[in-house]
Structure 1
Amino acid sequence: MAKRVAYFYDPDVGNFHYGAGHPMKPHRLALTHSLVLHYGLYKKMIVSPASLCQ
């Protein structure tokens, strides 16, 4: 059985300050997104644009 993978990406997520001790680092997201694009991984995933909460 094939596994399904979903990938959610929002280029603005790195514009928020999570605090000095928070493990979220914007450069990690940029690096991950770059790898997904350059290796063509997005072609094998369900890609959905992130949307704002209401």
Structure 2
Amino acid sequence: MTKRLTISIEDDVYDVLEKWADEEVRTLANLAAAIVTIEARKRAATPSEDTK
């Protein structure tokens, strides 16, 4: 199941993401979802300090 979330970001960050999304010919929402997914999966695959 897909979950939906809403975030607020500063204007300068939005501008960077918007340019990045345009360069990749994708929507900003799709880019943000991809970034979050990649980073979350990296974190899940890396043992935290608590489990070492």
Question: TM-score w.r.t. structure 2 length?
Answer: 0.30
Q: Radius of gyration: which is bigger? A: 2
Normalized per residue, the structure richer in strand is 1
Normalized per residue, the structure richer in helix is 2
Question: TM-score w.r.t. structure 1 length?
Answer: 0.29
